[in-house]
Structure 1
Amino acid sequence: MNTIKHIIAVASGKGGVGKSTTAVNLALALQALGGRTGLLDADIYGPSQQRMLGIADGVKPEQQGGQFLLPVMAHGLKTMSMAYLTSERTPMVWRGPMAGGALVQMLEQTLWGELDYLVIDMPPGTGDIQLTLSQKAKVAGVVIVTTPQDIALLDAQKGIEMFRKVDVPILGIVENMAVHICSQCGHAEHIFGSAGGERVARDYGVPLLASLPLALSIREQTDAGTPTVMAAPDGPEAALYLEVARAVRDALQQGGDAGSAFPDISISDD
């Protein structure tokens, strides 16, 4: 862990907003900018990065010394996921502390080596995994992912508030599915509402890093195991992910070791 310069969490208040897609493309974009990058799939109950990275079922991380795991390489990234340790059809029927323990093991017992960035794909919500991460790791900042839909924005606000309570800096907001452009006629339609991410960013005084379209190509490329930044590096969607990566890189360079000191977390009714 001491060989990782910056840990970046990618989080959302609710599922289905494209958080994992954002995480993998952000990691690839940071790598494209010259950073040594790792990706940790911390969604213990529903890991998806194995499929998104195109890693075959049954691939297991190699062990070293009977205690440590070697990360699985994918598209140049050092990766680790619960999906590597279980089968595709195995549900993780665990209580919160067990899931938190699994996160700590993957985080601390993986031999990450020298990394400039470790991107952590968080599970949705504001529960055990989020608190465990903020206690156990020096998190440099978090990227909040949402859609323009009012329900998603409410949950995104809860995510922002939670990370602020544990003193994790908010690096910015990524708004997914902002607009759909018809492939036949070019008509643009805001299916899930408009400017929602911009409003939340303004209310909380954080940057809106990018508004990504509801694009069929993003879904197809990720499902095929070659995320957008790798599949179409010169395309408009990849350019947006690279824009996010540059903003995150610059914020971390200006902020220094933003997550170097953390209080002990206690839960109260206040």
Structure 2
Amino acid sequence: MYAFTYHRPASARQAATLLGKKEDAKLLAGGHTLLPTMKQRLAAPTALVDLSGCLDLKGIAQKGRNLIIGAMTTHAEVANSPVVRDAIPALAYLAGHIGDPAVRHRGTIGGSVANNDPAADYPAALLALGATVVTNRRKLSAAEFFTGLYETALEEGEVILRVSFPVVSKAGYAKFRNPASRYAMVGVFVAKRGGEVAVAVTGAGEGGVFRWPEAEAALKARFAVKSLDGLAHGADGINADMHADAEYRAHLIGVMARQAVAMATGK
């Protein structure tokens, strides 16, 4: 690694101040992406601002019809929270299937969302559930927040404080995991709220997480697995790599969508 200064603020406000004062500073959440890139000398921040001491960035609560999760809440805490399991069971399930126990007990929802890895799980949940990302400056809908591969609408000095999820009537998540990394080769999150249906896909798009309008229209007519019979996603715009070509990933989108709906409906 290159030399850097280390800071551990006690609040989000202090973290934002340090981020603004220190040239080329980086926020440290779980560290699963930043630290390996620093070890490989692919990143060389002059300062690290560790958010682990910011207690105001942690916690889970339901306020009215919204589930509020602090940015520094770990995947394990989301997965095991009775509040999350009661409000949005599919979100708890998703968090419980991120990586392995070591990753789940260190990685955070804010770090995952900010990194926007194209194979990460949370972006699909945020997009399908219509979540809002709250920063120290503004509120961004998930559709506004995710802008491309590893890209978000976050600006310099902006810190994610929490994520607000509307409580939906039905939701489900299914993913085809890479057997080594457990990242989603394809993951699909479906959500039904009133008469609206959203289907979000992660791990497959060349531009990152995206919605599948054709599946949404079919499920809006009838929210059931059979509604997706005969529906297939095309290979255009689908990622291809050493793990799977575009055609295979496109096929998996349909398979995972059916499994997600089956989870949501209990059938």
Same fold (TM over 0.5): no
User: Whose strand fraction is larger, Structure 1's or Structure 2's?
Assistant: 2
TM-score by length of 1: 0.24
TM-score (norm 2): 0.25
